[in-house]
Amino acid sequence: MELKFPIYLDNNATTPMDPRVLDAMLPYFVEQFGNAASRNHSFGWVAEEAVDYAREQVAKLINCDPKEVIFTSGATEANNLAIKGVFEMYASKGNHIITCTTEHKAVLDTCKHVEKMGGSVTYLQVQPDGLIDLAELEKAITPQTILITIMYGNNEIGVVQPIKEIAAIAKKHGALFFTDGTQAVGKIPVDVMADGIDLMSFSGHKMYGPKGVGVLYVRRKNPRVKVTAQMDGGGHERGMRSGTLNVPGIVGIGKACEICRLEMDAEAVRLSIMRDRLEAALTQIDESYVNGNVQHRLPHVANISFKYVEGEGLLMGFNKQIALSSGSACTSASLEPSYVLKSLGLGDDLAHSSLRFGLGRFTTDMEIDYTIKAITETVLKLREMSPLWEMFKEGIDMDKIEWAHH
């Protein structure tokens, strides 16, 4: 086995498609091209059958009824449908939503939109390890609270929230619980029945399926949940999401879910061993810190800050060999430090010097060996060039320095 470059360690941003998923999808582009809503001929029936089968594959992975699976264009759309849909549907009951500061932008920006529509949103702070405080959550609930939305696993630090406990608090107070499950579904066991989840979003392209297809799970009994459609038309997807179904994409996410269901447990073990090895090696470097709770996190994610090194500079140091990100894919266009890391209480310097490692199904031990070596060398090299590192080594208290502002 020889190494192929660049090595891809940004699996939280997107994953390569599994060849088995592509094989399942191919027939539905050219031969079996029917519209699943065409009821009058075999082309439509074949497409509908494929969609029904995919619905079952998805439902089995998260332990729900196939009828509770609504297909969307991705998790962003599913998040919008869940949050805006509940806000409109339950307007007579209340207008208050509770979320948290480390959510994905697709949730935060949707909540901002709801505020413009007259809703009221509470943004819970997280603790320094990235977990929310359950007592604080309960304190934030008012008689107006209709929805609590907290993500399952974080896209930047991999922290897994206490979902079952959050769901129980929501239920006790008569609010619905929605979770963005994008990073968790297919990586760790997610069971909407056992967890008590009312609505959940996830995406094909984070689980070795195609881009452009996602799911919103909507609970049908105790409680029966309804959302107002955000896309109107022919009443597809139980009237919640109109539009001709993306049959090849749906077949793909179905197959991706089936593979995850069968291989997830073994894969989680393999990846966490690899991740821990990477982390142990990189934290041998002086002044390196793991971000987020290490007991409660996804098996394939590590987020590490290397003090006195600039994250962007670090990425430039090996970006031809290793594909990584600092912060999340969605916000890295701006040079702002990651808002997720800032929420944990990290200063700009540490937030700027963090790297996110997202291991995946196709990551090999050889790739991890190379990454350990390359990153260690780059950090040490950049520090040799850094006056800050020199000052730190001389024992100067960095927090007491008065910097000249231009």
| Residues with catalytic roles | 330
CA-CA distance, 87 to 126, in Å (whole number)?
24
User: What is the amino acid identity at position 115?
Assistant: E
User: What is the amino acid identity at position 81?
Assistant: L
Task: Name the nearest CA neighbour of 180 among 144, 155, 157, 145.
Answer: 155
Whole-angstrom CA distances from 398 to 341, 384, 402 are: 20, 17, 9
Q: Which ranges in 143-290 belong to alpha helices (H)?
A: 163-172, 192-195, 247-282
Are 357 and 301 spatial neighbours (Cβ–Cβ below 8 Å)?
Answer: yes
CA-CA distance, 355 to 325, in Å (whole number)?
6
DSSP secondary structure letter of residue 71: E
Q: Tokens at residue 309, please?
A: 């090194």
Three-state SS for 53?
Answer: helix
8 - beta bridge partners? 323
Three-state SS for 111?
Answer: helix
